[in-house]
Amino acid sequence: MARKKKKGNNFKLLTLFLFLGTCLGDYGIGVGIGDGGAWVGGGGKQQTNAAYSALQSWKTAITEDPSGVLKTWVGEDVCSYKGIFCSGSSVTAIDLNKANLKGTIVKDLSLLSDLTILHLNSNRFSGPIPDSFRALESLQELDLSNNRFSGSFPQATIYIPNLIYLDLRFNSFTGSVPENLFNKQLDAILLNNNQFTGEIPRNLGYSSASVINLANNKLSGEIPTSFGISGSRLKEVLLLNNQLTGCIPESVGVFSEIEVFDVSFNSLMGHVPDTISCLSEIEVLNFAHNKFSGDLPDLVCSLRNLINLTVAFNFFSGFSSECSRVSAGFDFTGNCIPGVGYQRPRPDCSVIAGGALSCLRIPAQPLTCAAILGLKVTPSP
């Protein structure tokens, strides 16, 4: 009789815990019954164990730790580890910026399903980025800058669904920049100071990013004609120190919010398009060390927010008095402007590189900006 009573009590307890499990199902409550009676357990332990496993696996792949960060990575309480930040029992952020760690990235980090921020700026991590990173569905910010990563562009980053900030600066990535990168809803695309080659993808101008930095790579070919077509919210475009050729697309004038445009140290040719004068918010324009020729458009120097205009070491033959009024700097040295000091020797100006290049020309303001921006032109009285 006593055994039957025990089973009856267990049944009542199990019924109660099943009810609790229904109410608290989102918290991973588990229930069961056995010879020792009824029991209840939480699912948070599984998440903690996964994080512990992932971080311990990564710890073994780090070979140098001069600051002693990993000395705190002991025990199952991963939320007490230096550089690890949690919400409840879930790891939601890793910030190891400037920790000077040396090692590689392990695929096990993809087990951190709630991770939203991964900042590894200024370390000595090397090797490729694991393809398993595409499983980091909660990740929003990925900063791998100033390390020694190598290999082709980490395709896994394109498939991280909630990623909005991608920083791969100052590494040794090679190969081409994938076209589908610019289809992704990112706020910032920072790829400068790598070894990317090939042409800039044709859909560059359709990116949702406010900052695109492709500087100091080995990119070649022309600036895509899509540049500006979408009416992007770009604030900064940095294409300096590559191997770009051809003209600046007239559609650049669509970037009505752009503040910095730097294409210096390339091999761009032809004239500077009048549509530059549509960039009402522009503050910094840098065309230095290219092969531009002709007169610098008067309207460019009249832009109300322009504080720095650099056209040094091109083949410009003239500019208007407006250009000398640029408040914080107008550098026109090393051109072909008659009667002005610090210009190229006359023999260098006799045959202008790319002088025969024909670039598309759109008439000057107000027709230029009205046509490009889709505004209604009001005829002058």
Q: What is the pLDDT of residues 263-313, one digit of tens each?
A: 999 999 998 888 888 888 999 999 999 999 988 887 788 888 988 889 999
Edge-to-edge strand ranges of the sheet holding 308-310: 84-87, 90-95, 117-119, 141-143, 165-167, 188-190, 211-213, 236-238, 260-262, 284-286, 308-310, 330-331
Rounded to the nearest integer, the mean pLDDT of the chain is 83
Three-point CA angle 190, 192, 197, nearest 5°: 115
CB 173 within 8 A of CB 195: yes
Q: Is the pLDDT of residue 46 over 70?
A: no
CB 255 within 8 A of CB 264: no
- Gap between the Cα atoms of 246 and 228, Å rounded: 17
pLDDT in tens, 216-235: 999 999 999 877 665 567 89
Among 173-182, 217-226, 240-249, 346-355, the least confident range: 346-355
- What is residue 116's predicted lDDT score, i.e. its pLDDT? 98
CB 143 within 8 A of CB 121: yes
Residue 203's nearest CA partner among 189, 188, 187, 183 is: 183
HSE at residue 241, side-chain half, CA atoms within 13 A, is: 10
Please state the pTM of the whole predicted model. Answer: 0.82
b/e burial code for range 22-59 (CB count within 10 A of at least 16 → b): eeeeeeebebeeeeeebebeeeeeebbebbbebbeebb
Indicate the SS3 state at residue 184.
coil
- Gap between the Cα atoms of 185 and 158, Å rounded: 10
The whole-number average pLDDT for the span 348-368 is 63
The single-letter code of the amino acid at 69 is V
The whole-number average pLDDT for the span 49-75 is 97
pLDDT in tens, 311-330: 999 999 988 777 766 655 78
CB count in 10 Å sphere of residue 217: 24
